[in-house]
Structure 1
Amino acid sequence: MDPLQEDAYGATNSTAAGDDDDDDSPKIIIHPGISDKEKESVDNRQKRILEVLQTSGIKTGKAPVVAVLGSGGGLRAAIACQGVLGELNCAGILDLTTYLAGVSGSTWCMSSLYARDNWQSHLVEAEEELKVRLQETSWNLDTALKGIWEAADQLEDYSLTDVWQYSLVYYMTKELLGSSLSQVRAQSEKGVVPYPIFAAIDNSLLSEWKEKKSLETWFEFTPHVAGYPLPGAYVRTTHFGSKFNGGKLIKKEKEKDFAYLRALWGSALADKETTQKTILHFFLTIFEKYGIRNYLTRILFAQYESRDEPDPESDKFLTMLSLDEKEKLNILEVLHEDHLDQSFPPGEKSTILTSDSENTFTQISMGDQLYSVGSLFFPFKTWTILKPFWTWTWGSTNNFLYQHEDLKDKPLEGMESKEKLHLMDAGLAINSPYPLVLPPVRDTQLILSFDFSEGDPFETIKATAEYCNAHDIPFPEVDVAKLNREAEAPSDFYIFEGKKGPVVMHFPLFNKVNCGSREDISKMANTYRTFQLGQYSQEDVHQLLELSKANVKNNKEKIMEKIYALAKEALQSDK
């Protein structure tokens, strides 16, 4: 092993010690490496890959480890990831893939697929289902508001991730997945599909990432464990979110389902102010659609006017309502006349069921459907639901390392003092999960990087090169100046190779091969924005799928050539 790898990761090519007992035992694993179950799953996958290679006439004693990476990018990334995986499957490349790792929007696609049994054999059906689902009005306001209210009312770790789950993620993907990571173990362990890795980062360590690209910032989820891959601290996936103290289980919580996890993996893509405005704009758009925007705005303004002391954070929220002075005066006039219930549009009516200083419950009748708001969303005194906006709290969960003694003299020392973790979108660090497939324990030899990012199509690989350089991690040399020159009109394929580290093949989503001119590339990027609140037409979805597939179709021979070359190199090294 290269000593630089060993220094950077503090790990060797061994699996985590002593974790081969009951897969659902409440155990904390403090050791570098991968779990025994992941090793078993990957071994079974490699056996299948060897069979495929032999069928193709490639003789080798060891299959190369190929990792497919999907970047973030909201619904654009989710759709494009679906297209890429479908075409990789048609080309026979997915059969040669060991790992599938994703960040943010790509995890929306991945979780939807892994919720299916043996999904690799059903990608055509999954694509057709996606086209239909995104056209249906399957998002339900009552379901969203009820979900947010119940999370705020019942969950000790309620945060903006719960709001994000039922608002933007549910609205954009049109589905709430009830299955969990532990339920997809069987197909992973049998090796019938690539082993999945889902990326997040620890928000409390984000400042360290910005200063020195800290290894410990990254947090991963697999079907078997969740935790910090570098230097190695995990909990069983089934016990992620449960309460531990000193390594012992204190309170078992229900396993987090995909609906919540995909909100965690795809949360807070932008800075605080941008994301606040996006969430608020979403709700105001929905409220206006259902004819209740004015009513809820007035409830909000009444709350602010009744404050005993100024609250700068609340003032920021009120400012984001974008009310001018005339609108504020009109609202005050209505409030003083006590005509709140007259703020509904003609033909709609409200009925105040209960009213007191702590709880106001209002039902709004529109046609045959009844919507419950008020205490369900904006109670007068109990601002539980809105509290995370003021504190900007995301991804709250019990810290499984709390009071754990084995962290002394380790890179994560200090984590044992924190009762809560705050996890969020890994795109805030690097918008692609390179750090999760680069550790030597995973032995990745070829990375197929599909970049669905908004903006610079090379930002992920430049950021990864910088990260690797900071920690002496083997990675191909990247000509930053050349990539900057081509950023506005990139090609559809780039290959980066070095004497050490994996070979990287990089595929920008919008490029001069599948789009055309620089103007056409810009037009496509504008059509498929990250925060796309409007509904894509069927033509839009079809076009995006085809654009993403083209990057595979046009380069499948190059990909296969490299996989075959790596397999033959392995055969030579065995002799």
Structure 2
Amino acid sequence: MTDKPQQAAFTTKSRPGKQNERSDISVHFGISEEEKVAVQNRGKKVLMALQKLGINTKKGPVVSVLVSGGGLRAAIACQGVLTELSHLGILDMVTYIAGVSGSTWCMASLYTQSDDGWKDLWKAECELQRRLRENSWDFFIALNKLCKAAERDDYSLTDFWSHSFVYYLTKELMDFRLSHVKHQSVMGTVPYPIFATISQELKIGEKKNLKAWFEFTPDWAGYSTLGYSEPGAYVSTPHCGSKFEGGKLIKQEPERDFSYLRALCGSALADKDIVVQYIKDFFKKFMDLESMQRSVLIAEPDGINLKDILEELFNLMATFQTDGDCLPSLAKLQHTMSGDKNFDEAAAYVTKLTELLSRTDKDEQRQLFHELLIKTWKKDLMEKSHISSYLNFLWKTICCLLSWTWGTTNNFLYKAEDIEDKHLTGGQNLHLMDAGLAINSAYPLVLPPVRNSDIILSFDFSEGDPFMTITETENYCKSCNIPFPPVDKDRLKQDADAPWDCYVFEGEKGPVVMHFPLFNRVNCGSAGIIKEKWKTYETFRFRDYSDDEVIQLLKDSKLNVNKNKDRILAKISELSKATS
């Protein structure tokens, strides 16, 4: 017996599907009219691929490929999977590719390819290997990009993550935008892409809120349809990030590029302490850059040296975020400020803050630190500086670290009259995060009634429980009254340490799900080797993979496809007959 669906996230005063007069915002069930055209045209390509294999049918099934999160491991494994699916002719039968977290790093790169590039994904795989092997990452390019990003009102730690962590690991920056894929997708020459995130506003505490899923496609971005009773709310993809009020466009902002979208989808926030340490280490690289020290970039007019003060402030905010002892950092900061008349007020406030710290809770401490930042930052220092853009980047990053601000974007539903849920319309901004914090696979975006997949090929690169995405999706579907095949949890629990390479779940209703754990008995051989593989390819590995490690990971991921080619094609053929 299924649980009762949750209260509607979107209660509209207008008929679902009706768009406002500008057609920038839409509230509708299921997929948009633009996506319907893309899917219809893709269906023609799918039909041709089926006929090449001797599968005679008038209509092919909707095949969705899900690629999970998992950092750089997921990005490389995703490339291996898609290359092998392409090589075997199966990718031509796929309608949707939906990615979460690290897999979107691969997806973004592939969707910059031309149609010819999609015909031979081996070239994209070779290019990935070349980038990783040659370490094509440039510190000064990252710095320049960060200074430019900090000019935006919605600068957040996602921008920092994009041009430091994601760029450092993938060795790639992209100015290409998701809306640029629209031509390919509407013609049906490529599978329709779905990039998954979640909204921080709707993810309350540790509860994986059912309403929190936020998708990006070439046509629309927004909150997906939830269950059979709640429509989704969307903004046209080129306008995602622009300012809206009351459903009307107030100020158009440039569409964010793929580099930012990859950071947004893959912000890897599951382990906050590790993330803070990484940001701290990278920030120090910027501060200690040798060429900066030889120039007057840090040494400001009148002998004022901001380097030590900024660095101590950053260390203080990092310590606060990781629940460390802030008193030593405050003492160092006060010592650094003492004797400098420009910071007399801030130094005096440090004394007061030190006395109050032990008598306040976390939220109150954050307010005290915020006031300290206000008293420390001097506008005239920026005006005198020859490197105001650099100082602005440093300062904004410190402020974002204190508030732990990620994925800031303008809320397109701000004061929207057709939406009664105040969680959605009350704030000018919304904050988007890594969907790995939800299910780590984009099942909710391809299941009925959103996209009505007939078969889901789920390639799971998640570290830890190889069946977590399956069991959590089953729970999600029960809560939303969505059909999902039965899951034998006892069997999955027995197989957790050494899973097989493919599991098929099917029932009387809902899609057929084929689940492929990355490391398994077939490509590894034993539980011991599987365990060693996870140590080698751990999610929070911040050093480069060797060329041999990249090649082996590609080989393992491809084997999961190759060994199960006949099972996949047999199931697609069976479902094709059912839809003929």
TM, length-normalised to structure 2: 0.82
Q: Does 1:376 align with 2:371?
A: no
Q: Does 1:114 align with 2:111?
A: yes
8 A Cα contact 2:415 2:425, kept in partner? yes
Deviation at 1:545, TM superposition (A): 0.5
Q: Does 1:401 align with 2:399?
A: no
- The answer for the alignment partner of 2:144 in structure 1 is 146
Change (3 A) 1:113 1:522: same
Change (3 A) 1:563 1:229: same
Deviation at 1:322, TM superposition (A): 12
Separation in 1 of the partners of 2:7 and 2:454? Answer: 20
Q: Does 1:218 align with 2:213?
A: yes
Secondary structure of the structure 1 residue equivalent to 2:477: helix
- The answer for the alignment partner of 2:356 in structure 1 is none
Counterpart pick for 2:430 among 421, 431, 437:
421
Note the alpha carbon deviations across 1:117-170, whole angstroms, 9 max, x for none: 114213011011111011123211111122222222x10111111000111011
Separation in 2 of the partners of 1:42 and 1:474? Answer: 22
Counterpart pick for 1:553 among 531, 556, 562:
562
- The answer for the alignment partner of 2:254 in structure 1 is 254
Q: For 1:482, give the aligned amino acid.
A: R
Counterpart pick for 1:316 among 313, 320, 326:
320
Deviation at 1:385, TM superposition (A): 2.3
8 A Cα contact 2:9 2:211, kept in partner? no
Q: For 2:381, give the aligned amino acid.
A: E
Deviation at 1:302, TM superposition (A): 3.7
Q: For 1:255, give the aligned amino acid.
A: E
Change (3 A) 1:141 1:149: same
Q: How does 1:265-344 map to 2 (within 5 A)?
A: 265-284=265-284, 302-303=309-310, 313=317, 315-316=319-320
Deviation at 1:473, TM superposition (A): 1.3
Change (3 A) 1:312 1:79: closer
Separation in 1 of the partners of 2:50 and 2:3? Answer: 32
Structure 2, gaps ≥5 residues long: 226-230, 299-304, 341-377
Worse overlay, 2-11 or 130-139: 2-11
Separation in 1 of the partners of 2:309 and 2:283? Answer: 18
Note the alpha carbon deviations across 1:428-449, whole angstroms, 9 max, x for none: 1110000000132411010000
8 A Cα contact 2:284 2:311, kept in partner? no
Aligned identity (percent) is 50
Q: How does 1:40-59 map to 2 (within 5 A)?
A: 40-59=37-56
Worse overlay, 43-52 or 551-560: 43-52
8 A Cα contact 1:44 1:191, kept in partner? yes
Q: How does 1:489-500 map to 2 (within 5 A)?
A: 489-500=498-509
- The answer for the alignment partner of 2:28 in structure 1 is 31
- The answer for the alignment partner of 1:452 in structure 2 is 461
Deviation at 1:463, TM superposition (A): 1.0
Change (3 A) 1:444 1:401: same
8 A Cα contact 2:276 2:322, kept in partner? no
Note the alpha carbon deviations across 1:27-63, whole angstroms, 9 max, x for none: 2101222111100000011111112222322222221
Note the alpha carbon deviations across 1:77-129, whole angstroms, 9 max, x for none: 01100000010111111111111100011111111001111142130110111
Change (3 A) 1:195 1:378: closer
Q: Does 1:227 align with 2:210?
A: no
- The answer for the alignment partner of 1:193 in structure 2 is 190
Separation in 2 of the partners of 1:304 and 1:56? Answer: 62
Q: Figure out how many residues of one structure are paired with residues of the other and give that number.
A: 524
Change (3 A) 1:451 1:401: same
Q: Does 1:358 align with 2:381?
A: yes
Q: How does 1:505-516 map to 2 (within 5 A)?
A: 505-516=514-525
Note the alpha carbon deviations across 1:470-527, whole angstroms, 9 max, x for none: 2221111222222222212111111111111111110011112101222211111111
Secondary structure of the structure 1 residue equivalent to 2:28: coil
Structure 1, gaps ≥5 residues long: 338-354, 364-371
Separation in 2 of the partners of 1:253 and 1:149? Answer: 18
Q: For 2:142, give the aligned amino acid.
A: A
Counterpart pick for 1:156 among 153, 157, 167:
153
Q: For 1:101, give the aligned amino acid.
A: A
- The answer for the alignment partner of 2:349 in structure 1 is none
8 A Cα contact 1:465 1:475, kept in partner? yes
Separation in 1 of the partners of 2:559 and 2:322? Answer: 46
- The answer for the alignment partner of 1:387 in structure 2 is 399
Deviation at 1:206, TM superposition (A): 0.8
Change (3 A) 1:19 1:324: closer
Secondary structure of the structure 1 residue equivalent to 2:129: helix
Secondary structure of the structure 2 residue equivalent to 1:520: helix
- The answer for the alignment partner of 1:342 in structure 2 is none
Change (3 A) 1:204 1:423: same
Deviation at 1:383, TM superposition (A): 2.4
Separation in 1 of the partners of 2:392 and 2:417? Answer: 43
Change (3 A) 1:51 1:319: closer
Change (3 A) 1:288 1:478: farther
Deviation at 1:450, TM superposition (A): 0.3
Separation in 2 of the partners of 1:250 and 1:289? Answer: 41
Deviation at 1:285, TM superposition (A): 6.5
Deviation at 1:318, TM superposition (A): 9.9
